[in-house]
């Protein structure tokens, strides 16, 4: 494993290499499971990154897939060993969070720990790690018919843990965060005027402190990034991953063509939307109108 690589990046490299080798050998996941005497679900979970493969399982699998070069095998075994060490220690892998967060959200949190750059686009609300506790609580209560009180509580806790981790990394220069918000996000008073005003002031503080760079997609711009989905593009040591969310679900996508298309679209619209100064001026006007409606 190259020096400085993280366990997350190492695990991703192993599973992508395994999937590529399987497809190159024209084998199905079911055929691999039968040959290795594993369950099909185990193969699927390894390739999806839900679990790490042990070195003892990896060696015979590599032989079956035709990967026998000693240097390649040694590097992949080293990756697998280090990846398994970190996974057991992560807060989002503990039972309380595993049971109350979606699979895609857990992967998102894992990649946020390692990303060098995050390009975020939101069409509905302020992105999770940038939310204040009261804003997050007000937002989550909208899903009371779909989620239990425990699920809501855990998801709010997770957002605060993500926030602390991500902003700490941004403050130390480990990650650059670009945020593009639809104008509706900066108008939608989730939680009421007082809660939303505090949320906007917190966005202002993060911008002023250099933790995030933000631009607004105004209603006047007839060039939406996507029609109905918010997403995050995270740049890792092994390319990019895409987390996409709609009002009904979320998913993690690692297909290179899909991530490339989203990245190209994001960059194009980023250059067309309101710049940072215009966005800040809009936020300031919103804060004044919320705190002093008569102004």
3-class state of residue 60 by DSSP: helix
Position 227 scores a pLDDT of: 63
Cα end-to-end span (Å), the chain: 60
Structure tokens at 45: 């979970």
Structure tokens at 69: 């070069």
CA angle 254, 259, 260 (to 5 degrees): 140
Position 23 scores a pLDDT of: 93
The 10s digit of each residue's pLDDT in 139-192 is: 988 777 777 888 888 888 999 999 999 999 999 999 999 999 999 999 999 999
Tell me the C-alpha distance between 104 and 154, whole Å.
15
State pTM to two decimals: 0.81
List of domains in the chain = 7-89 (1.10.260.40), 92-291 (3.30.870.10)
Tell me the C-alpha distance between 195 and 189, whole Å.
8
- Name the packing angle between helices 193-208 and 133-140 (round to 10°): 130
Tell me the C-alpha distance between 148 and 171, whole Å.
34
Position 196 scores a pLDDT of: 97
Tell me the C-alpha distance between 52 and 84, whole Å.
6
Position 143 scores a pLDDT of: 75
What's the mean pLDDT in 240-268?
90
Q: What is the dihedral of CA 178, 282, 197, 134, to 10 degrees?
A: -20
Q: Kindly list the distances between the CA atom of residue 221 and the CA atoms of 35, 87, 180, 211, 232, in Å, as whole numbers in the listed order.
A: 55, 43, 13, 26, 21
3-class state of residue 9 by DSSP: helix
The 10s digit of each residue's pLDDT in 25-69 is: 999 999 999 999 999 999 999 998 778 899 999 999 999 999 999
Q: Residue 1 — very low, low, confident or very high, per pLDDT cuts 50/70/90?
A: very low
Q: Residue 22 — very low, low, confident or very high, per pLDDT cuts 50/70/90?
A: very high
Q: How far is CA 243 from the centre of its chain?
A: 5
The DSSP code for 293 is: T
């Amino acid at each position: 494993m190259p020096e400085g690589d993280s366990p997350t990046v190492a695990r991703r490299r192993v599973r992508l290499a395994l999937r590529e080798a399987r497809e190159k050998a024209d084998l199905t996941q079911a055929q691999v499971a039968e040959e290795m005497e594993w369950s099909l679900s185990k193969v699927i979970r390894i390739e999806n990154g839900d679990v790490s493969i042990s070195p003892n399982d990896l060696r015979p699998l590599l032989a079956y897939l035709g990967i026998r070069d000693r240097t390649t095998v040694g590097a992949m075994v080293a990756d697998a060993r280090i990846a398994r060490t970190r996974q057991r220690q992560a807060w989002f892998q503990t039972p309380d969070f595993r049971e109350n967060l979606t699979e895609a959200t857990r992967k998102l949190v894992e990649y946020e720990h390692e990303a060098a750059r995050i390009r975020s686009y939101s069409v509905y609300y302020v992105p999770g790690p940038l939310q204040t506790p009261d804003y997050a609580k007000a937002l989550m209560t909208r899903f009371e018919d779909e989620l239990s009180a425990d699920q809501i509580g855990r998801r709010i806790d997770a957002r605060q843990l993500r926030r602390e981790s991500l902003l700490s990394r941004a403050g130390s220069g480990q990650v650059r965060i670009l945020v593009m918000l639809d104008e509706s996000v900066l108008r939608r008073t989730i939680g009421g005027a007082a809660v939303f005003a505090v949320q906007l002031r917190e966005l202002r503080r993060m911008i002023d402190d250099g933790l995030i760079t933000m631009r607004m997609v105004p209603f006047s711009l007839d060039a939406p990034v996507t029609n109905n989905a918010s997403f995050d593009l995270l740049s890792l040591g092994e390319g990019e991953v895409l987390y996409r969310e709609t009002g009904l679900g979320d998913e993690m996508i690692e297909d290179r063509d899909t991530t490339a298309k989203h990245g190209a679209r994001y960059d194009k619209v980023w250059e067309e939307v309101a710049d940072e100064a215009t966005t800040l001026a809009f936020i300031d006007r919103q804060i004044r109108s919320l705190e002093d409606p008569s102004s």
